[in-house]
Amino acid sequence: MRGLFMQDSHYNHPLRAVHKAIEQLAQFSVTKYDKKASFVRENVCCKRYAAFKTDDKTDIMKNKTALLVFLFLTLVNNNFAQQKKKKAPKATAAEAQLSFREIPKLKKGFINSSPSNRRDGVPVGKLGIDGGNKEMILKLAKEMANGKHGNFDSFLIAHKGKLIFESYYLKGRINLPHPQASATKVYTSMALGRAIQLGYLTMDDLDKPIASFLKDLNPAKFAKGAEKITLNQALTMRSGIRIKKEDREKFEKDPSQIKGQKEVQAYFEHTAPIASGTPDFLYQNDPMLVMQVIEAVVPGSAKDFIKKEVLNKLGITNYRWVTDPSGLPRAGSRSSMTSRDMVKWGTLAMNKGKWNGEQLIPEAFINKAIHRIVRESDDENFDDSGDISNVGYGYFWWQADMKVGNRNYFSTSAQGGSGQTIVLIEELDLIVVTTVHRLKISVLQLVAERVLPGFVVN
């Protein structure tokens, strides 16, 4: 009877497995038959079927039939269990061609506490088994599905290097790149780090003037102070550039004015004079300056460099990245990534620039990028609120302390408008990814209040 439970590839279909069981059962022999005691003992693998009470041989056959029914139900249940497991929603080929606004909404959310291994470079585990309070996270996910916290499109959690929770709602699809908004800035920062790793720049170059890398500029026409703007200042939104609204509109109407390095020339010419010292933080188009430097120092174009040396290295092939009027990839917004690929970006930062054992970005660069450089600002994004305090800014990454009980946990995050986030809590080896298209509550507050408690060991 051992053969009844063996995994035979020829009999991996449930009906074939049952047919095999019938053949084996037909050859099954009764070892003892005692009419006086009216007991039959059969040599079966399960102890519960080791003895059957019977009055005659007809009853033995009835017991065989009962055993056969039991085996049939067990085999069917086991073989079809996997087939019944729901698969994450996918965009069709036609849907993939639509604009994000046109993507139809899912009728029902998909919630999975045991993500599938898609062989996409994202290791998987199970919520609860590999970490996290399953009940707490599932409760939050169901609230998201019901729209309680806004129009969430996806919510994923990775812990200790494994994706342990994955969910999609509304316009979320496992294979559909989602607009990243300002989270794109982080990808631009990481691309600059890759250029440093490959030797096209050095860490010391971060403190050099941007104009020193761009040979097509005419410094004689710069506004006062523009020649001193460094990469470090651009990476932290402290270039000091202040452009009048009418000048920006003029550039937009005539894109020929900002083709290639003309874009930097136009900004450096039309900015208000920049005072000496470190300018104040202002959330604006400084990422454009960083992309221009990448374009100037790497072989070929910035677009090809990012694809070959960053995205391909991470196994990111399904993405979108809009080209600016300058001809370069837009540095501050307008990229689209799948939620699983967002997890990859977070993992790269969490692992200090390493991916699959290869150092893609210098650890020194990552340490500067994801930790506080700007600590104070009048910008509204620096306001403390709820369980979020000590907001700071690195190289396009945001930082904040998250309060859980009487403790604060340092977090760093890529943030895009409406809730596109990659949140890292280093102390807990935790990555939280969200995509949203209308938000009712700060994602950071939601993570602090509803996610972190599920991973904090009291």
Half-sphere CA count of 339, side-chain side, radius 13 A: 30
What tokens does 378 get?
Answer: 């009048």
Check residue 34 and give its pLDDT: 41
Check residue 4 and give its pLDDT: 33
Residue 424's DSSP bridge partners are: 412, 431
Torsion of CA 155, 157, 162, 164, to 10 degrees: -80
Torsion of CA 353, 357, 359, 361, to 10 degrees: -20
Residue 326: closest CA among 283, 282, 291, 299: 291
Check residue 80 and give its pLDDT: 41
127, 133 in Cβ contact below 8 A?
A: no
CATH class as words, domain 201-297: mainly alpha
In a structure prediction context, what are the per-residue pLDDT tens digits for the chain, which is 458 residues long?
A: 433 333 333 334 444 444 454 455 444 433 333 433 333 333 434 333 444 344 555 554 555 555 555 555 544 454 444 435 689 999 999 999 999 999 999 999 999 999 999 999 999 999 999 999 999 999 999 999 999 999 999 999 999 999 999 999 999 999 999 999 999 999 999 999 999 999 999 999 999 999 999 999 999 999 999 999 999 999 999 999 999 999 999 998 999 999 999 999 999 999 999 999 999 999 999 999 999 999 999 999 999 999 999 999 999 999 999 999 999 999 999 999 999 999 999 999 999 999 999 999 999 999 999 999 999 999 988 989 999 999 999 999 999 999 999 999 999 999 999 999 999 999 999 999 999 999 999 999 999 999 999 999 86
Count other Cβ atoms within 10 Å, centred on residue 15.
12
Give 8-17 contacts, CB < 8 A, sequence gap 24+: 12/79, 13/79, 14/75, 14/76, 14/79, 14/80, 17/75, 17/79
Q: Name the pTM for this structure.
A: 0.83
Distance spanning both ends of the chain, measured CA to CA:
50
Alpha helices by DSSP H, 271-311: 287-297, 302-306
Check residue 40 and give its pLDDT: 35
DSSP letters for 334-403: -EEE-HHHHHHHHHHHHTTTEETTEE-S-HHHHHHHTS-SB---SSGGG--BTTEEEEEESSS-EEEEEE
Alpha helices by DSSP H, 222-282: 231-235, 245-253, 262-270
Spatial separation of the C-alpha atoms in residues 50 and 70, rounded to whole Å: 14
Give every CB contact of residue 374 below 8 A, 6+ residues apart in sequence.
236, 237, 238, 281, 392, 393, 394
- Specify the DSSP element, H or E, that contains 61: helix 57-84
Give, as one character, the DSSP assignment of residue 11.
G
- Residue 401: phi and psi, rounded to 5, are -90, 140
Residue 33's DSSP bridge partners are: 40
Which homologous superfamily is 95-184+333-454 in? DD-peptidase/beta-lactamase superfamily (3.40.710.10)
Check residue 29 and give its pLDDT: 39
| Beta-sheet pairing, 320-321 with 335-337 | antiparallel
Residue 63: closest CA among 86, 84, 38: 38
74, 81 in Cβ contact below 8 A?
A: no
Spatial separation of the C-alpha atoms in residues 37 and 253, rounded to whole Å: 101
Domain boundaries, the chain: 2-84, 95-184+333-454, 201-297
Residues in the chain: 458
